[in-house]
Structure 1
């Protein structure tokens, strides 16, 4: 059965990046369509019950199915597409990986607060929360270079977009979030060099992220000043 894939995305969305990385790791051809989440097209709202990206439109001979939620999309790709396996074979290890994917989503929740707040106290609270969470990640990491050793997995696909934020944040302030997490720092460096990770965003990503901070009057920019 012939299947074609179309990914509805937004240029800054870290959840979209998860799906893009998984698609590229699998070597699956797909079409990417970026939309403006501040002005969502009607056709997109009909596809996405939650009004969020990513949405993967799967077209078969029987019609179209729209899959929403990034982890659902990644799991579908893992189950249906050839190429490198991105989940462990062992059921317990696979469940453990899924749990750490959820932990990555919790980190993104704190990152959202860190980057959008203009309040110094809120910023510091989110910074401390991230320090604590990455301390947990540090304890879970082994010898590397990836989350589970030598094999790239969906956990890596989840955390690579998290680390990408800090390419700009590092320029703005000495936030100290990874100060006591050497394994996390090494993991971040390795992921940044992975072709699927590098190509998951366009070249204008840093400029778009900076503009996003400006729109939110982010405390991060005040620290840079």
Structure 2
């Protein structure tokens, strides 16, 4: 059996996608963590873009999370994509939508002042309004079968689980279906196990160093 190794960082949501997919498929894998702020030479030698995740398949290396997920779909059962081509295309589109939301979250925690922060919150609220409109079943994105879309959104909602500890963004207040989906994902073993127990503290430390409006809110909560 070929050994799979997931090269990871502690906070990267794209790494978490791959870890969730591997767990859902029941595929054994090793996990190696690297400090992306101080990348070791061996990592730079095998990562063309200098980013995680990487999936080592024996001596081969696959980079980019979308490609890793597709490789796992091609090689490891059970399938997490729908069988129907049109539905599968729809799921792939919502995975890309999830990547857009991750970029918006990056803009949120880097927003330097309250005005730009509120603008980012408004963008995120509109993004999730599209999700609220799309969700038609439960408990997962398309009903009873956990899919790669679920694997993508588990790490997205995890950010807000931490943010909720020190600020009320109000993004999900009028979105009951999204809130239900978020709650279901938070209890899924594969989603919970995709990060280490110290993830919330690591994320808070990361935010504290951003010199942003969100880091100001975090500091104010800590001082209260």
TM-score by length of 1: 0.95
- 1:79 and 2:78 aligned: no
Aligned to 2:120: 126
Structure 1: give runs of 5+ residues left out of the alignment: none
Secondary structure, aligned partner of 1:172: coil
* Paired residue total: 219
Secondary structure, aligned partner of 1:32: strand
- Map 1:85-100 to 2 at 5 A: 85-100=79-94
Return the match for 1:220 from 182, 207, 214. 214
Q: CA deviation at 1:96?
A: 0.6
- Matched residues in 1 for 2:111 and 2:94: separation? 26
Aligned to 2:38: 39
Aligned to 1:12: 11
Return the match for 2:60 from 49, 58, 65. 65
Q: RMSD of the TM alignment (CA)?
A: 1.0
Structure 2: give runs of 5+ residues left out of the alignment: none
- 1:159 and 2:133 aligned: no
- Matched residues in 1 for 2:195 and 2:212: separation? 22
TM-score by length of 2: 0.95
Q: Is the 8 A contact 1:21 1:200 kept in 2?
A: yes
Q: Is the 8 A contact 1:172 1:220 kept in 2?
A: no
Aligned to 1:168: 162
Q: Is the 8 A contact 2:98 2:152 kept in 1?
A: yes
